[in-house]
Amino acid sequence: MTLHPMAADLMTTIEDANPHVAAMLSARGRAIYFPFGGILGQAAEAKGKRINATIGIALEDDGRPLVLQALQSMIELDGRDAFTYAPSFGKPKLREMWRQMLREKNPSLHDTAMSLPVVTVALTHALSMAGYLFLDPGDDLLCADLFWGNYRLLFEHQHGANIRTFPTFDGDGLDVAALKQAVTEGAPRKRVLLLNFPNNPTGYTPTVAEADAIVETLTAAAEAGNDLVVLIDDAYFGLVYEDGVLGESIFARLADAHPRLLAVKIDGATKEDYVWGFRVGFITYGVKGATPKLFGALEAKTAGAIRGNVSNAPNLSQSLLAKAFQSADYPRQKKEKFATLQARFHEVRRILDDHPEYAERFVRLPFNSGYFMCVRPLKADADAVRKRLLEHYDTGVIATSGLIRVAFSSTPRALLADLFANLYAACGDVEQGD
Ligand SMILES: Cc1ncc(COP(=O)(O)O)c(C=O)c1O
């Protein structure tokens, strides 16, 4: 396929900076570019002219956005921060802020080079754009076998990839040996791996020792000649409730691990800042030895994919978040909400510890973080238990992969004891064929 000259320029930049990263891109990833010279470029050149008839929004005669008072009256922000388009890359101030916040939330990043985050329409979209850039139809996406179900629609249906799984757990901990097998079997080649901690559905984050083993395994696989794209789904970042568990993103450890390992951090405000419907996420790149030019080219390709897909992410949401992040009370409020979820986590632990009899009917999977925990019914079908809970116990849970997923994030603390008592009873009913 002949590349557009702008795509060819980007590919030259990437090849010169790191040919392994060039080899990681999908065919669409190689071909995409950001159309700096098109309508956007021409509009930028006309900025400040007495007559500027380039802009594709409506303006009042005095230059303010032409908006409906019925909407502006509900919004305290300047109309330019709410109604107009945000850039396809995202609002520059928010991007800078998020990168700074990444360093503060992950102190071990120190001064590791990373790209500026590119803003997406939350994490689903960021994952999809990563699929666009790095997966060709028929490629494998390596992933632990307990994963967020939407990965199927995202990576298999949208991008034609095959999700190839390895066991999540070995006993009470992560099956790092299975991950190693997945990234090293056969001849060295390009591989795309997805890591999600805290995990949906299990609510598990690696211990520090497990994280060390993962970093070591992936670095060794890169050293052995594999070109590794590691997609890091950090949707639940920061919600870690126990000591000894990795509190920082594994991105901080992988961003500077090896020139053949591209760490792609996919995160956002959705769960971290409790704004599920705002639809603001980010893609940030890290690879050892990267130059600003390499990051610039990857950002341009990402923004090009976004431009051709949803054009840009909501300006209003980005502006609200940028303002909230600057609020003096923001850190205190975050701690307060974290404490609410952490208290529920400890309540679930207490309930299970206080009821050893529950283990006769279901076993808990390891959990230490996030929104969820899972149990495996021992002698009953998970979906039958779910239905029984709905019909006889006024209780809703998710059945997935033979497990029951409990969202303690959305269950009042006072109801958690009833929830598990109901689960125990429903498992018993189903076992007896009621
Ligand atoms: C693991 C994981 N990744 C991504 C997402 C999607 O997040 P968003 O709402 O920002 O698209 C979810 C949402 O449930 C999730 O559980």
Q: Please identify, by atom number, the ligand 1 atom nearest to the C-alpha of residue 233.
A: 3
Q: Using a 6 Å cutoff on CB, does residue 315 contact ligand 1?
A: no
Give one DSSP letter per residue of 168-188, joined into a string: SEETTEE-HHHHHHHHHSSS-
Checking if the pLDDT of 336 tops 80, the result is yes
Q: Using a 6 Å cutoff on CB, does residue 139 contact ligand 1?
A: no
Token digits for 113?
């080079």
Question: What's the one-letter identity of residue 121?
Answer: V
> Helix 5-17 vs helix 292-307: angle between axes, to the nearest 10 degrees?
140
At residue 74 the predicted structure's pLDDT band, cuts being 50, 70 and 90, is very high
pLDDT confidence of residue 42:
87
CA 89, 331, 409, 400 torsion-angle sign: positive
What 8-state DSSP symbol labels residue 4?
P
For ligand 1, the distance from its centroid to the CA atom of residue 129, given in whole angstroms, is: 14
Beta strands in 249-328, from DSSP E residues, in sequence order? 261-268, 281-286
Checking if the pLDDT of 37 tops 90, the result is no
- Dist. CA 357–CA 376, nearest whole Å: 14
Q: CB count, 10 Å around CB of 27? A: 10
pLDDT confidence of residue 330:
98
Complete domains list, the chain, with CATH: 5-34+88-326 (3.40.640.10), 331-431 (3.90.1150.10)
**Residue whose CA is at the smallest distance from ligand 1 atom 13:** 235
For ligand 1, the distance from its centroid to the CA atom of residue 95, given in whole angstroms, is: 20
Q: Using a 6 Å cutoff on CB, does residue 268 contact ligand 1?
A: yes
Checking if the pLDDT of 112 tops 80, the result is yes
Is 0.95 surpassed by the pTM of this model? yes
Q: Using a 6 Å cutoff on CB, does residue 210 contact ligand 1?
A: no
- Dist. CA 143–CA 116, nearest whole Å: 26
Q: What is the mean pLDDT of the chain?
A: 97
CB under 8 Å to 427, separation ≥6 — which residues?
Answer: 361, 362, 377, 378, 379, 380, 385
